Structure 1
Amino acid sequence: MESNGEDQGGTRDSNKKPSGTVENDTGEISDPWKCLMIICNFVVLSFCLGLNYGLWPLVEGLESYYEEYNYNRDQIDIKWIVYINISMVGITAPVASALVHRVKFHGTRIAAFYGAFLSTIGLFLSGFVRSTGALCATYGVITGIGYGLLLTPCIGLLPMYFRTRYILANAISFTGTSLCIFYVPSLFDYVAQTYGKHSTFIILACLNAQLLVMAALFRPIEQFSSESSPKFLDRCKRLKEKLFSDYEKALFRTIITSMFFIGVGYNILLLHLRQFAMYNGTSDTDSRIVLNVCGVFMIVGQVVHGVLTLSEKVRKDEKTYKRVFYSLSLFGVALVSLLSSVADSFAGHAALAAIIGLGSGMYFPLAFVLLRYSLTVNGDSRLTGALAFGLPIFGIGALIGLPIGDLLNEVTENYDCSFFLAGAALMVVSFTFLLVDYKLRRRESHSRKSTESDGKTAQDDNDGLNANNTTEVTEF
């Protein structure tokens, strides 16, 4: 099933070359362009997916900042600016995907440029507003839409440059999200104490402006030829037929559904990890160290699972190993989250953060890899089309799961509840994925045996026919 999609996708991808790129004698895209795309993805992902988790400590301190300067504060919880931003990043993915596919040859660059511009404007305006409602509009909505328009073409562009070793390239790109968790809180603390908390958003807008350069470096991709390009409605109809009629797309439907639960578990664990440590008596400084430990081990998980795919043994059966890495890392994070109440000291929370970071660094990038390899339209892999399904589900999961986690914590006055919710959500994903994967393996095995049996029967029939012909010739 999956290998067929990979082979077809790889064959078709080999015929697509970014316009303007320099190729070597073998027809491969030159290494400088590959390195440039990794750098662009690294920077874009650090802002689009990592900024909220690094910005979280600053957001927690904004409430006292508003009250301190006697501004009229809305009844909206200040944490909603991050919740809305995460959800808008996902919900905007269908718009970005449609723009990429509708505007031939330049849709990727146009969508990314609009996203970089909107996100910069949203961050700049956030430095001047004086209410949480306005912050929800500027940082939550405007910046979130900008990041959504930028994220989808960014992730979808990378596999076009890496027809081989895509998992490693994707893993390196995602280390940008972990670095934000590691160094951004300390950087923002210094800037907030030196220039004021509102000035932090203005400085962040200046840093975010570099995404305009990244968007300009995105090379357009020839996704459809002018002769064979189907109309948009025809493409949607064919996609619908494949998603809901072909049993082999069960893996794709499973991953799309699991994005909701990942949106719940992944965001709760990263955003509540520091508060959970402080609730159990860890000091503010030590709780920041716990968050840094999580970021460091996320980098380790991302690099390790990418490097392992270079080994000869893994490359021979890559589809099996990436499923194993995905399911085991999910199960490990889910189990530790369910047992989080055991951590009652700084060392315990540091160990908890290390395991969560290591597992999250593996399963979160692999979710997009599996999404890419599980969807083929007319024999051609379309990651941007798959993201139009997966990222909105992820954003909705975050928008629903994070407030529920906060509500459980407030009602029970115990942060264990939100970790139980996150662990249960990830455990559902782990067991569902293993079940579907097991059924697909059995079906593949049965199909392979049937093919071999039919081939053997045909061979026996041919041997019998040849024997009869030989006998007739002998009798004559």
Structure 2
Amino acid sequence: MVAGKQQRGSEAPLDGGWGWVIVGCCFMVTVCTRAVTRCVSIFFVEFQAHFGADYAATAWVHSLVDCTTMLCAPVGSLIGNRWSCRVAVMLGGLLSSCGLLLSSFSSRLEFLYLSMGVLTGVGFALCYTPAIAVVGCYFRQRKALAYGIAMSGSGIGTFVLAPVVQLLIELYSWRGALLVLSAFVANLCVCGALLRPIKPQEDEEQAEGGEKESAGEERLGSPAPQLQRRWFFSSCFLSSKEYHFLLLPDFLGMAVSFLFLATGCSLPFIYLVPYALSVGVCHQHAAFLMSILGVISIVGNITFGWLTDRRCLKPYRLACYVFSVAMEGLCCLFVPLLQSFPLLLPFAILYGYFDGAYVALIPVVTSDLVGPQYLSSALGVVYFLHAIPYLVSPPIGGWLVDVTGSYMATFSLSGAAMVLSSIILSIVGWIRRCQRRVPAIAENTKHQPLPTLASDQSDHLMAVNIVASKETTNLIHGQQRRLEAVTS
């Protein structure tokens, strides 16, 4: 029993030590999932030439990878909660590596939809959410900084992998490049093996209660077969307690804001280069805008995470998140006025910085809202909400360009969606502050005004009694004097 207590004590969040190994593993997971997903677009020209397909048919490969990763995020959370994040990440690494391996032998584009789009996407989904959730178990004081470093793997990985993948295609063709990527993605299994699962600090008391129940079962013997079957089915399916946060009004408001955010955030990455080319920017400068956007997003990941960990800003993390999303939306609304490279360069810097800022704060804000014990399940739902907007918003943006003949409507849709997302979440934050003030006011009125009011009333009653007694005494004396006068 003492050993068990010591083990649980070592499971408390460390804010360092092995936690930085966890951050490094999560960094590599984001490199192998999000960065590799972005690099899939580099294969488009090769796919078109080999399969004789147009851009629309080829683009479904990237859309399916991205959508499946987000759509199956709750499955990754479920496996991480039922078994462990180590099992989820290692299984996801195996599936995604096999998907890329099978894609290298593909003879039809439809087979790529299944192997790269679905199988690889499911593998990425099993890795992404549990790896992010386990970082929150190891950090409390420096949580935002840890997430900033971990989530920067997406930008750094894209910056490094993009030229490497292009070089691999030139040296070994697209099939050989997919084989190398398959071996690279297999490193997710190594990252998963290093993820040492721990329980959040808030669950220690529940763990103690569970140990007492299990000890009692050991003394009494194994439970009945009916109870064993009931436990098996309850452990295989969703439990209402595990997803209790879905009933919270705060989380519902945040979920609606994420739908609008996902609708607008992906459009600038897709249409910035075509817009720059349409206003006369050369190809080299247009590509440089995307490079600047990616590099600055890394700076936003780390610096904004470090800033929101400071004591003065830690209570206002939600406000910082709302500010970064709103700034992104305002930047998109001003894009149609920027029609030269010197004007588009500040946009790339500002948008990239605030994009990295809000990406780093998504797990932090979610943890602050639902608690660390629900973080893995909540992140699965949050990333699930990104799936459908990621799938439909790029075609909608392209349709607006075809109908209007300009990119103004597309960037206006992106900016309006993100501004509306920030407004919804700011309303949620305002309601939370009002809910916190009401119990505080009730507590103050309970302890302070009531005794003062009671003492004032008692003093007033005593004064009234004294005056009444004096008046009755004077009346009795007056009647006695009249009687004496009459008798005399």
Q: Superposed, which structure 2 residues align to 1:243-258 within 5 Å?
A: 243-244=246-247, 249-258=248-257
Distance 1:310 1:108, change over 3 A: closer
Match of 1:95 among 67, 75, 79: 75
Is 1:423 aligned to 2:415, yes or no? yes
Is 1:135 aligned to 2:112, yes or no? yes
Distance 1:18 1:110, change over 3 A: farther
The 2-side partners of 1:402 and 1:434 are apart by 27
User: In the alignment, is the contact (CA less than 8 A) between 2:23 and 2:135 conserved in 1?
Assistant: yes
User: In the alignment, is the contact (CA less than 8 A) between 1:123 and 1:201 conserved in 2?
Assistant: yes
Is 1:46 aligned to 2:42, yes or no? no
User: In the alignment, is the contact (CA less than 8 A) between 1:330 and 1:426 conserved in 2?
Assistant: yes
The aligned residue for residue 351 of structure 1 is 346
Is 1:33 aligned to 2:36, yes or no? no
The 1-side partners of 2:175 and 2:249 are apart by 48
**C-alpha displacement of 1:307:** 1.7
Match of 1:237 among 237, 240, 243: 240
The one-letter amino acid of 1:325's match is C
Residue deviations 1:168-206 (CA, integer Å, cap 9, x gap) = 101111111111332332222222223323322222112
**C-alpha displacement of 1:310:** 4.1
Match of 2:46 among 57, 62, 66: 62
Match of 2:384 among 389, 392, 406: 392
The 2-side partners of 1:210 and 1:111 are apart by 14
Identity across matched positions, percent: 24
Is 1:188 aligned to 2:200, yes or no? no
Is 1:319 aligned to 2:315, yes or no? yes
Residue deviations 1:323-347 (CA, integer Å, cap 9, x gap) = 2211111111101112211222222
- Gapped runs of 5+ residues in structure 1? 1-14, 472-476
The one-letter amino acid of 1:49's match is R
Is 1:162 aligned to 2:139, yes or no? yes
The one-letter amino acid of 1:119's match is S
User: In the alignment, is the contact (CA less than 8 A) between 2:15 and 2:142 conserved in 1?
Assistant: no
Residue deviations 1:54-110 (CA, integer Å, cap 9, x gap) = 443x144235432xxxx453895211111111111111122122222222xxx2111
The 2-side partners of 1:251 and 1:342 are apart by 37
Q: Superposed, which structure 2 residues align to 1:211-222 within 5 Å?
A: 211-222=188-199
Match of 1:375 among 365, 370, 376: 370
**C-alpha displacement of 1:366:** 1.1
Match of 1:364 among 355, 359, 363: 359
The one-letter amino acid of 1:395's match is A
User: In the alignment, is the contact (CA less than 8 A) between 1:273 and 1:353 conserved in 2?
Assistant: no
Distance 1:272 1:16, change over 3 A: farther
The aligned residue for residue 268 of structure 1 is 267
User: In the alignment, is the contact (CA less than 8 A) between 2:144 and 2:305 conserved in 1?
Assistant: yes
The 2-side partners of 1:358 and 1:448 are apart by 38
The aligned residue for residue 435 of structure 2 is 443
Please, what TM-score do these two structures have when normalized by structure 2?
0.80
The one-letter amino acid of 2:326's match is F
Is 1:329 aligned to 2:324, yes or no? yes
User: In the alignment, is the contact (CA less than 8 A) between 2:44 and 2:59 conserved in 1?
Assistant: yes
**C-alpha displacement of 1:462:** 7.6
Larger deviation, residues 136-145 vs 305-314: 305-314
User: In the alignment, is the contact (CA less than 8 A) between 2:13 and 2:139 conserved in 1?
Assistant: no
User: In the alignment, is the contact (CA less than 8 A) between 1:338 and 1:423 conserved in 2?
Assistant: yes
Distance 1:133 1:204, change over 3 A: same
User: In the alignment, is the contact (CA less than 8 A) between 1:83 and 1:402 conserved in 2?
Assistant: no
**C-alpha displacement of 1:463:** 6.1
User: In the alignment, is the contact (CA less than 8 A) between 1:298 and 1:357 conserved in 2?
Assistant: yes
**C-alpha displacement of 1:272:** 2.7
**C-alpha displacement of 1:41:** 0.6
The 2-side partners of 1:40 and 1:457 are apart by 56
The 2-side partners of 1:297 and 1:355 are apart by 8
Distance 1:415 1:185, change over 3 A: farther
Is 1:454 aligned to 2:482, yes or no? no
User: In the alignment, is the contact (CA less than 8 A) between 1:280 and 1:345 conserved in 2?
Assistant: yes
The one-letter amino acid of 2:49's match is Y
- The structure number with the bigger radius of gyration is 2
Larger deviation, residues 384-393 vs 175-184: 175-184
Distance 1:54 1:423, change over 3 A: farther
**C-alpha displacement of 1:220:** 2.6
The one-letter amino acid of 1:93's match is A
**C-alpha displacement of 1:216:** 0.9
Residue deviations 1:286-309 (CA, integer Å, cap 9, x gap) = 222111100111012112211213
**C-alpha displacement of 1:232:** 5.2
Distance 1:280 1:190, change over 3 A: farther
The aligned residue for residue 11 of structure 1 is none
The aligned residue for residue 474 of structure 1 is none
For the residue of structure 2 that corresponds to 1:381, the secondary structure is: helix
The 2-side partners of 1:278 and 1:292 are apart by 15
Distance 1:142 1:304, change over 3 A: same
Residue deviations 1:100-155 (CA, integer Å, cap 9, x gap) = 2222xxx2111111100111111222222244322221221111100000011101
- Gapped runs of 5+ residues in structure 2? 215-230, 464-488
Distance 1:340 1:30, change over 3 A: closer
The 2-side partners of 1:124 and 1:234 are apart by 32
User: In the alignment, is the contact (CA less than 8 A) between 2:305 and 2:361 conserved in 1?
Assistant: no
Larger deviation, residues 114-123 vs 187-196: 187-196
The one-letter amino acid of 2:251's match is F
Distance 1:421 1:16, change over 3 A: farther
User: In the alignment, is the contact (CA less than 8 A) between 1:301 and 1:361 conserved in 2?
Assistant: yes
Match of 2:176 among 187, 191, 199: 199
User: In the alignment, is the contact (CA less than 8 A) between 1:54 and 1:182 conserved in 2?
Assistant: no
After superposition, the CA RMSD in angstroms is: 3.1
The one-letter amino acid of 1:354's match is I
**C-alpha displacement of 1:423:** 1.3
User: In the alignment, is the contact (CA less than 8 A) between 2:48 and 2:58 conserved in 1?
Assistant: no
**C-alpha displacement of 1:214:** 0.3
Distance 1:394 1:455, change over 3 A: same
Please, what TM-score do these two structures have when normalized by structure 1?
0.82
Q: Superposed, which structure 2 residues align to 1:264-303 within 5 Å?
A: 264-303=263-302
The one-letter amino acid of 1:338's match is L
Match of 2:403 among 407, 411, 414: 411
Is 1:209 aligned to 2:183, yes or no? no
